[in-house]
Amino acid sequence: MKNLRFNIGRIVGNSDLLFPLLYLSKSRKNGIIRKDSDICIEGFQRSGNTFFHFSFMRLNRQANIAHHLHASAQVIKAIQQGTPTIVLIRNPLEAVASLMVKDLNLTVESGLKSYMDFYKNLMPYRSKFVVGKFEEVIDQPGLLVKQINEQFKQEFQYEILNDNKRANLKEQIKKKNLRNTITAGWERSSIPNEQKEAAKQVVKKQITDNHFYKKTLAVYEEFLLI
């Protein structure tokens, strides 16, 4: 049932035709793209979405942010209405491994297919948004905001992080995770921890052995080259 729900969500989230159904979901009402959205922050799950969203939001508290739907149709909708957009991306081995640790009922195939669909759908729009590599997101999210400002002629606030500020930001996110029953467990935390990293090593071989892995890796590499 988990994989069925996940795959239905993948189909709806990556379909321009079906995407409007998500406007009926109460759980997505705060993150879905609307006409008054100031920015769209999207990416496949476990690709730095929470880190970038949190770092952006704390300096731009009045901004209306579309985020965390993990749906390519959301990105396309944002582009069509002229909303400044950033798409985050992480190596599929790390992203899917983290996703599987978050939910052990998810199959490798479901995770890889979802990753492929998300980024393949966005290939034709690649020049219409800023791309944020996971490594850039967790190192200097402010530089990505600077790129957004330059590409979309915006004036979003940002800062350059030193080691202390970066550590403080991670600690704030960690505390926020712990206050939420959904993200309180180590396996669902958006901040790395030893338990999660150990668990990821167990599932990584399942991922690299899957016949979809090479295709998914090729999508990742092509997306970064365009």
Give the start-to-end residue ranges of the domains of the chain. 2-225
pTM over the 0.75 mark: yes
Q: Which range, 79-88, 98-107, 179-188, has the best average confidence (pLDDT)? A: 79-88
CATH 3.40.50 correct for 2-225:
yes
Tell me what the pLDDT averaged over the chain comes to. 92
| pLDDT at position 177 | 77
**Residue 77 CB coordination number (10 Å):** 22
Q: What percent of the chain has pLDDT over 70?
A: 94
Q: How far is CA 29 from the centre of its chain?
A: 17
Q: What percent of the chain has pLDDT over 90?
A: 78
Q: Between the CA atoms of 186, 192, 195 and 201, what dihedral angle is there, to the nearest 10 degrees? A: 130
What's the pLDDT tens digit per position in 27-59?
A: 899 999 999 999 999 999 999 999 999 999 999
Pick from 78, 71, 89: which is nearest to 226 by CA? 89
